[in-house]
């Protein structure tokens, strides 16, 4: 483990913006993670943990510290009770784990097909899509404590999972390096067919009991139509996926949005509980004036879905930031709802503008 100096970061992130890391270390084992942390500690340098870079916006100034790319690979599986326990290194590519589990006919990750990034990033924001999220299958998260540089582990309830969040993103942000994650999957289990897009996919033409492999194919198809699979020929490849989290709002706020748009336009929403609903950020963004395909110089709203901001080539982080702020402002003005960005902002100065962009309240 020998950190390199001045490594360009843009190519390590799917958004493809941002300046260099002052130092960059690739850690292939837990002890290399510890070494890299100690190296940074000795120099009093800040640390950023990098996985696949699919959920980060890196500042144009870059990161003035050590970027540790967590590259611990390897996937093992073993039976436990009536389940198969998959234990994957934080640096294992996420979609390869999903494909491997489905090839073994194990249920639990099928709707999470096609999500970019690495295993270690999945507990951080409780990665989810199409009716599943990783909190449904994670049994244990192995970490190294950045303060003590000692290993530790957390059971599922200890991870503090919520909608696109966990203790690793909130209470303990910047405290732990995820080194390994365990998922308990169900051999020969039924696929999850709960989300409207997946349900409708098998309605026309009708498929009575889709297999796990069929649900993976369906998920990939649906994601492709939304430009959400990173692959050759996708003009929306350079993004962070959904830029804003779908807001969960009190029912009275839903009523206010409904009143604003009029009864002829039903506001799409999903019940969360008796008091709150989730409203699709994409719908709010479009209604606030940012249509799919909207362009502002080198950045724009994805031509496939309004929730993604795309770098069409040559964009700066400042361009991404300015468009995100304009979208947030427009939705706030139109509907009094403060959209919250999903990606992590790396290397940005803690300015008033950044605090405002990240804030959950108007
Ligand atoms: C096209 C596209 C589609 C997407 N679709 C979805 C989707 O459907 N659902 C969804 O939930 N997300 C989605 N995302 C977002 C992203 O893919 C996930 O959040 C992914 O899990 C991020 O993993 P990563 O390895 O790329 O993490 P990075 O982007 O490198 O890091 C994200 C955060 O996790 C931290 N982190 C990463 N690795 C570790 C580690 N080993 N230990 C501790 N902290 C770590 C980083 O410090 C950072 O704070 C999408 C992104 C894109 C570009």
Ligand 1: residue of 54, 92, 93, 195 to mutate (most ligand atoms within 8 A of CB) is 54
The pLDDT of residue 204 is 86
The pLDDT, as a whole number, for residue 227 is 96
H-helix or E-strand spanning residue 127: none
**For the segment 191-224, what is each residue's pLDDT rounded down to a tens digit?**
999 999 999 999 988 999 999 999 999 999 999 9
What are the pLDDT digits (tens) for 48-58? 999 999 999 99
Structure-token match 């606030």, residue found: 288
Residue 2 predicted with pLDDT over 90: no
pLDDT tens per residue, range 65-80 = 999 999 999 999 999 9
Look at residue 256 in the predicted model and tell me its pLDDT: 96
Nearest protein Cα to ligand 1, atom 47: 49
- Tokens coding 128: 């989810």
Q: Is the CB of 239 under 6 A from ligand 1?
A: yes
Assess whether pLDDT exceeds 80 at residue 362. Answer: no
Percent of the chain, pLDDT > 90? 96
Token pair belonging to 10: 């843009």
Q: At what angle do helices 317-335 and 251-261 cross, to 10 degrees?
A: 90
Stretch 259-270: mean pLDDT: 94
- Ligand 1 near 113 CB (within 6 A): no
Short-list 122, 131, 176, 125, CA closest to 340: 125
Q: For residue 52, how far is its CA from the centre of ligand 1 (angstroms)?
A: 7
With residue 106 as reference, give the H or E element that holds it.
strand 106-107
pLDDT digits (tens, 9 = 90+) for 143-201: 999 999 999 999 999 999 999 999 999 999 999 999 999 999 999 999 999 999 999 99
């Amino acid at each position: 483990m020998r950190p390199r100096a001045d490594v360009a970061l843009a190519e390590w992130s799917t958004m493809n913006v941002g300046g260099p890391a002052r130092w960059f270390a690739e850690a292939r084992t837990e002890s290399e993670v510890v070494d890299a942390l100690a190296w940074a500690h000795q120099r009093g340098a800040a640390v950023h943990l990098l996985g696949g870079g699919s959920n980060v916006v890196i500042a144009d100034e870059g990161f003035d510290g050590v970027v540790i790319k967590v590259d611990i690979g390897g996937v093992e599986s073993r039976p436990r009770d009536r389940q198969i326990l998959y234990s994957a290194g934080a640096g294992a590519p996420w979609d390869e784990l999903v494909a491997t589990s489905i090839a073994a006919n194990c249920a639990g990750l099928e709707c999470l097909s096609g999500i970019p990034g690495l295993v270690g990033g999945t507990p951080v924001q409780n990665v989810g899509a199409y009716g599943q999220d990783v909190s449904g299958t994670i049994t244990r998260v192995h970490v190294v404590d950045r303060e003590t540089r000692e290993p530790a582990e957390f059971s599922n309830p200890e991870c503090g999972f919520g909608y696109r969040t966990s203790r690793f993103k909130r209470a303990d942000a910047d405290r732990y390096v995820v080194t390994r994650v365990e998922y308990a999957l169900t051999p020969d289990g039924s696929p999850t067919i709960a989300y409207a897009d997946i349900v409708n996919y098998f309605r026309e033409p009708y498929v009575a009991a889709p297999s796990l492999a069929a649900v993976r194919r369906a998920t990939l198809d649906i994601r492709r139509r939304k430009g959400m699979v990173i692959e050759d020929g996708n003009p929306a490849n350079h993004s962070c996926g959904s830029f804003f989290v779908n807001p969960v709002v009190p029912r009275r706020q839903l009523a206010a949005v409904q009143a604003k748009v009029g009864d002829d336009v039903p506001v799409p929403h999903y019940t969360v509980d008796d008091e709150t609903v989730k409203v699709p950020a994409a719908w709010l963004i479009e209604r606030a004036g940012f249509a799919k395909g909207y362009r502002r110089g080198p950045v724009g709203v994805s031509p496939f879905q309004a929730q993604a901001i795309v770098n069409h080539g040559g964009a700066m982080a400042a361009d991404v930031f300015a468009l995100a702020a304009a979208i947030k402002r427009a939705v706030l003005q139109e509907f009094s709802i403060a959209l919250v960005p999903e990606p992590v902002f790396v290397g940005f100065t803690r300015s008033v503008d950044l605090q405002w962009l990240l804030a959950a309240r108007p």
